Amino acid sequence: MSRRVLVTGGGGFIGSNLVRALLERGDEVRVLDNFSTGNRANLVGLDIEVMEGELRSYERVHNAVRGVEVVFHLGALGSVPRSVQDPLTSSAVNVEGTLNVLLAARDSGVRRVVYSSSSSVYGSTGDLPRTEPMPADPISPYGVAKLAAERYCVSFSRVYDSFESVVLRYFNVFGPRQSPFSQYAAVVPRFIDAIAAGRPITIEGDGEQSRDFTYVANVVDASLRAAVAEGASGRIFNIAAGQPTSVNAVADAIGRILDKPVQRIHVPTRAGDIRDSWADLTAAREALGFEPLVGLEQGLQHTVAAFLATHPEAT
């Protein structure tokens, strides 16, 4: 059954992958993005409605949600280092912007909001794997902002009749259309770009810190499930691969796929970073029927192939 949906941040890496999946299943898709970090090229050739605007403008957000059944709220100002440098803007976009989305969705009769949160809300709590009931203790301003937005989502589900929201905590997502060129770029696209070109990669710390690297198709699948799952409203779910992998191991895997040597430059650990993080997926499995579809090695192969196809000059 076709639905009319809104994807905030639809010009971004995860958002543009989600938009394609929604179109493939026959939905009518509207995108709201200010393209400060998203890329218009990610949406070229797609049969969608694009609205350019700020999440910090209630009027613009209200116009965007009008007439839609589900809002996938991915619009955000990402990056832990960026939030350390500019916590005020991080809060304005990630907290106030989310509140605007929730208010506009409530006022327009939207059935459900699926909110994209982050594993950064857990902070450096020592218990592994991360489970949703454990106390959140974010280190960075970004993590604090995402946690505040989560609580607004849960609160709206509790205090407003017929309003539904589902929170998805993403862990270290990677995949096609993730840019390596921003100063805040994630490690996977940065490593692919550097190793393909024969340049050294830069690793913060010793590289043995672990993360739950999650291929983007898994996140997209979870988002689609979260939009329709019964009994999921007002709940929070980890979305990940469910296993830890060191940064060094990811670099080595990319080197194998590219058949290139991996040269490393180690620099001090960044402020706001944590040592280890990986997710327990029990709740998402039980409530959403979620299971990671694509493993790390296969996901890296897809990502490397997509990068080389769009950047043939890289090698």
- Which of the following is catalytic: 115, 122, 142, 215? 142
Measured from the Cβ of residue 231, the count of other Cβ atoms closer than 10 Å reads 9
Residue with the two structure tokens 């909110």: 115
Helix or strand holding residue 247 (H, E): helix 247-258
Token reading at 236: 């929070």
pLDDT tens across 2-46, in order? 789 999 999 999 999 999 999 999 999 999 999 988 899 999 999
Question: Which residue type does 92 have?
Answer: A
pLDDT value at residue 269:
82
Q: What are the Cα distances from residue 255, in Å, to 190, 191, 302, 314?
A: 13, 9, 14, 14
Report whether pLDDT(272) > 80.
no
Counting beta carbons within 10 angstroms of the beta carbon of residue 96, is it exposed (0 to 12), middle (13 to 18) or buried (19 or more)? middle
Residue 270's pLDDT is what? 74
Per-residue pLDDT for 314 more than 80? Answer: no
pLDDT digits (tens, 9 = 90+) for 113-143: 999 999 999 998 778 999 999 999 999 999 9
β-bridge pairing 245-246 and 210-211 = antiparallel
Per-residue confidence (pLDDT) for residue 169, from 0 to 100:
97
Q: What is the mean pLDDT of residues 242-270?
A: 94
Q: What is the pLDDT of residues 138-177, one digit of tens each?
A: 999 999 999 999 999 999 999 999 999 999 999 999 999 9
Homologous superfamily (CATH) of 4-172+215-241 is NAD(P)-binding Rossmann-like Domain (3.40.50.720)
pLDDT tens profile 182-232: 665 689 999 999 999 999 999 988 999 999 999 999 999 999 999 999 999
Roughly what angle, to the nearest 10 degrees, separates helices 296-310 and 247-258? 50
Confidence at residue 313, expressed as pLDDT on a 0 to 100 scale: 67
pLDDT of residue 38: 87
Q: What is the pLDDT of residue 183?
A: 63
Is a pLDDT exceeding 70 seen at residue 1? no
pLDDT band at 91 (very low <50, low <70, confident <90, very high): very high
> Distance (Å, rounded) from C-alpha 205 to C-alpha 165?
38
Q: Evaluate if residue 265 carries a pLDDT over 70.
A: yes
Dist. CA 263–CA 279, nearest whole Å: 30
Topology (CATH) of 187-210+243-278+294-314? UDP-galactose 4-epimerase; domain 1 (3.90.25)
Domain residue spans of the chain: 4-172+215-241, 187-210+243-278+294-314
The verdict on whether 170 is a catalytic residue reads no
Q: What is the mean pLDDT of the chain?
A: 93
